[in-house]
Amino acid sequence: MMTLKVTLFTLCLCVLGCNSDKADIIVTQNIHAIPPLNALENSTTPLKKVDRHTFQRHLRNGIYLRSKARNKYPLVPIYNEKHAVTSLRYSSSAIKNTTFAGDRIKQNDQYIFIATNPHYNDQSTDESAPGIKILSKYQQGDITPIVYVPLMLKDAVINGIYITDNRLAAFSNQQHYAGYASKNTPEKASFFPVGHRSHLSILDISSPEQAILQHTFTVDGRIIDSRKIGNKLYFLSSFSPYIPGLPLANNDAEHLANYRKIYSTPIADILPQITNDQGISSPLVTSDQCFISATSNDDDGFDGITTLTVIDINKPESITSRCINSDIQGVYTSKKAMYLYNTKKHINNAKTSVIHKFSFKEQELGYRGSVALPGGFGELNENLRFSEFQSMLRVVTTEGNENTGFEHQLFILQEPINSQQKALNIIARLPNDTQPQKIGVSPLDHSVQQNIKAVRFDNNLAYIMTSLASDPIYLVNLSNPNAPYISGTLSIPSGLSYLHPISTELLLGIEQNTPESQIENTHTNDQTSIVQGSKISLFDVSNINSPRVIASFTQPAAFTPVEFNYLALAHHLSEPNERHRFGIPMERWQVKSEQQKNTNIETWTKENFLTLIEITNKNTGAQLHHIGNVSAFNNSLNVTPHFPSSLDDRAIFNLDDVYYIHGNNLWRSFWYAPENIFGPY
């Protein structure tokens, strides 16, 4: 057996080193057996950079192992050119929702730029491609649409735009799907999408009135996250190699034929490509710029490729990439680095997570190190559990479930002084021996009954809220990174979904409001319906040991997409009077009943609006004021009612002017007179 493995290893190196398809085929004909490969494994180990031969073997082994797994429950590609996407998830990492992240709206002193997507158009519109709508702003706040630039990408959705003085960059994903032929399979598909393509479109906006589409690059795979720092675009994409004509194998001979085909396929055909406007393709990443799991050996493999790429927006032909041939499930991005993470679930339902750090430096992406932690990062707003501050990473993990109880931990991580170690060291954790108080502990039995619902870091503070309505907000003092501790709690009658630091003394909270009497009913068999609404609360946290509620406001029967995507919140600090202005999109359905010929007819209508909240002062004397609502409506009687989702609603402010986006339309109003509405534009 050892002789066979050595022989096959030598043959594989020959295959990977050959440049011609003919040579590959000749060599693979000499492969008479498949090595005893290890099963595909979700890795939580650090990374190692390997030579091109080792990487290619690892990738090809993974493709073969995946093909065997799919024999049992084969994947069936589903291509839907007229799909409807209900929500875009833009990710960001800013402490407050400002900035380096892409979103569907940007502005400068003179113009507003909006990403439009076809699934938000009404039925009277034939547009099937996304585009960029550019509007001009005038001195009195008036706006006029001046140009619409289609991106010429059918069946794509823009998920982030960026602007510089002369360029606009738009990232979009093409929505293709894949599902198992068997609906009852307990196995899940690979994290890496199948059949996806992504695009980077660059517009020349040096003269916005004559804006033109200058470049379009097509990338194999799906863009997960992106960032702009200066003129550099950084994006993370995932790719799952596909070899056409690889049949389902039913016996050893067919498995061997597939194995040979995988090893005879040119490496360029199984690496992600980037294609320019002229249709010229080149590898997005080369085999000598890739990392694999540090514990992998010749018998291991993985088929997914996650690629980190940096492009100069003014010189898009300048591209640098790195790839990771290992499991990656998410990413948190700071101003200086990307932290890629992955969580592995064990047989006993325990979880282990790994975090890999890649730093930004000029046009380089440097691997800095990894760390394995117990637990996972939740399922909603995962990247709010991360925060980079003064070269340290703070992160909150969770172990357990509703049946066994939870254990929540806060870790503080830092690179070692010796950068050659490629590690992220744990310098502190909470709870610990000197600070044993658990996060989310029940006063009844001292167990942790609920998962975390919201986390927010702000400089030297962390706010943690669990999902139990009666639980408090936990305030964690991080001023000494070597000794964090719970400094106070704030009890409120219902569970917060989102926390937003305003200053060192003020905290804004958004939640689904439920009266205390109805919360009590939910713990019994009482079937009384719960009347909910979206509640906005202002907290005084100036005394960290005794925080308190200052004021609250509720929109009855409404919900806000901020609970699910915090970039929907607009926040502006008005200088010099230190007034904090917030625009919070809301949605509610209302039913109207009427009798028609002895029959009760119910008509449902949806209301979308922007709630304007102002907070005066930044200290304990602050007050919360509801200024009013800006409603989204269409004043044309000839337009068929259309109900786009509110999940991608956005707002921007310009002095006292308010601009509210719902669907692909924009409305203009005024801060102190929100009932005066112009549009849609």
pLDDT in tens, 468-525: 655 678 889 999 999 999 988 877 655 677 889 888 888 898 987 655 444 444 333 3
Tell me, what's the pLDDT at 128?
Answer: 65
- In the predicted model, is pLDDT for residue 649 greater than 50? yes
Which whole number is the average pLDDT over 32-38? 89
End-of-domain residue from the set 437, 464, 491 = 491
- Confidence class of residue 97 from pLDDT cuts 50, 70 and 90? very low
Tell me, what's the pLDDT at 465?
Answer: 83
- Distance (Å, whole) CA 86 – CA 78: 18
Same domain, 680 and 608: yes
Choice between 316 and 642, residue whose per-residue pLDDT is larger:
316
Choice between 447 and 630, residue whose per-residue pLDDT is larger:
630
Q: Is the bond preceding 680 in cis, omega lying within 30 degrees of 0?
A: yes
- In the predicted model, is pLDDT for residue 215 greater than 80? yes
Cα distances (Å, whole numbers) of residue 79 to 175, 196, 609: 8, 10, 35
Same domain, 525 and 635: yes
- 3-class SS of residue 492: coil
**3-state class percentages of the chain: helix first, strand second, coil last, to nearest 5:** 15, 45, 40
Which of 226-230, 291-295, 454-458, 495-499 is predicted with the least confidence, judged by mean pLDDT?
A: 495-499
Dihedral angle sign, alpha carbons of residues 380, 385, 388, 389: positive
- 3-class SS of residue 5: helix
Tell me, what's the pLDDT at 413?
Answer: 97
- 3-class SS of residue 518: helix
| DSSP labels, 632-675 | -----TTSPP----STT-EEEEETTEEEEEETTEEEEEETTEEE
Dihedral angle, C-alpha 531, 537, 541, 547, nearest 10 °? -30
| DSSP labels, 86-102 | ---------SSS-SSS-
Find, among 476, 425, 70, the residue nearest to 247 by Cα.
70
H/E segment holding residue 58: helix 52-72
- Segment 286-345, tens digit of pLDDT: 999 999 999 999 999 999 899 999 999 999 888 899 999 998 888 898 888 999 999 998
Q: How far apart are the first and last CA of the chain?
A: 72
Tell me, what's the pLDDT at 32?
Answer: 79
- Residue 423, domain extent: 336-491
Same domain, 525 and 458: no
Choice between 529 and 673, residue whose per-residue pLDDT is larger:
673
Tell me, what's the pLDDT at 447?
Answer: 61
- Distance (Å, whole) CA 639 – CA 663: 15
End-of-domain residue from the set 445, 460, 491 = 491
Choice between 95 and 495, residue whose per-residue pLDDT is larger:
495
- The token pair at 362 is 């000029």
Same domain, 486 and 508: no
CA atoms within 13 A on the CB side of 604: 5
Max mean pLDDT range (153-157, 326-330, 579-583): 579-583
- The token pair at 523 is 């713990």
Residue 642 lies in a domain: yes
> Percent of the chain scored above 90 by pLDDT?
43
What does pTM read for this prediction? 0.84
Across the strands, what pairs with 134? 113, 147
Q: Which residue has the tokens 């009077």?
A: 577
Q: State the total domains in the chain.
A: 2
Find, among 620, 627, 617, the residue nearest to 669 by Cα.
627
Burial of 92 (0-12, 13-18, 19+ CB in 10 A): buried
Strands annotated E in 252-350: 273-275, 281-283, 290-293, 305-312, 315-324, 330-333, 337-345
Residue 329 lies in a domain: no
Same domain, 483 and 435: yes
- Distance (Å, whole) CA 393 – CA 357: 10
Which of 277-281, 422-426, 437-441, 494-498 is predicted with the least confidence, judged by mean pLDDT?
A: 494-498
Residue 142 lies in a domain: no
Same domain, 439 and 386: yes
- The token pair at 375 is 């637990």
Find, among 340, 384, 380, the residue nearest to 359 by Cα.
340
Single-letter residue type at 60: R
Which whole number is the average pLDDT over 420-437? 91
Phi, psi at 187, each rounded to 5°: -85, 155
- Distance (Å, whole) CA 411 – CA 390: 15
Same domain, 543 and 435: no
396: alpha, beta or left? (left if phi > 0; alpha if psi -120 to 50): beta
Tell me, what's the pLDDT at 449?
Answer: 66
- Confidence class of residue 205 from pLDDT cuts 50, 70 and 90? very high
- Distance (Å, whole) CA 631 – CA 588: 12
- 3-class SS of residue 81: coil
- Distance (Å, whole) CA 366 – CA 286: 16
CA atoms within 13 A on the CB side of 416: 11
- Confidence class of residue 415 from pLDDT cuts 50, 70 and 90? very high
Residue 612 lies in a domain: yes
Mean of pLDDT over the chain: 80
Residue 237 lies in a domain: no
Same domain, 463 and 381: yes
Q: Distance between alpha carbon 466 and the CA centroid of its chain, in Å? A: 21
- The token pair at 440 is 């989310």
H/E segment holding residue 192: none
Edge-first strand order for the sheet with 548-556 is: 496-501, 506-513, 533-540, 548-556
- The token pair at 20 is 């011609």
Dihedral angle, C-alpha 98, 102, 108, 111, nearest 10 °? -140
Residue 622 lies in a domain: yes
Residue 460 lies in a domain: yes
**523: CB partners within 8 A, 6+ apart:** none
DSSP H helices in 214-283: 252-264
User: What's the Rg (C-alpha) of the chain?
Assistant: 27
- 3-class SS of residue 255: helix
- In the predicted model, is pLDDT for residue 25 greater than 50? no
Tell me, what's the pLDDT at 514?
Answer: 57
Residue 293 lies in a domain: no
End-of-domain residue from the set 441, 456, 491 = 491
Tell me, what's the pLDDT at 363?
Answer: 58
- Distance (Å, whole) CA 172 – CA 1: 49
- Segment 248-283, tens digit of pLDDT: 888 899 999 999 999 999 999 999 999 998 899 999
Tell me, what's the pLDDT at 250?
Answer: 85
Which whole number is the average pLDDT over 609-619? 88
Same domain, 524 and 544: yes
Same domain, 446 and 537: no
- Residue 39 carries which DSSP code? P
Same domain, 543 and 588: yes
CB atoms under 10 Å from CB of 331, counted, come to: 23
Same domain, 542 and 583: yes
Tell me, what's the pLDDT at 138?
Answer: 86
CA atoms within 13 A on the CB side of 475: 24
- Distance (Å, whole) CA 536 – CA 559: 11
Q: Which residue has the tokens 């005879």?
A: 264
- Confidence class of residue 50 from pLDDT cuts 50, 70 and 90? very high
Across the strands, what pairs with 237? 223, 307
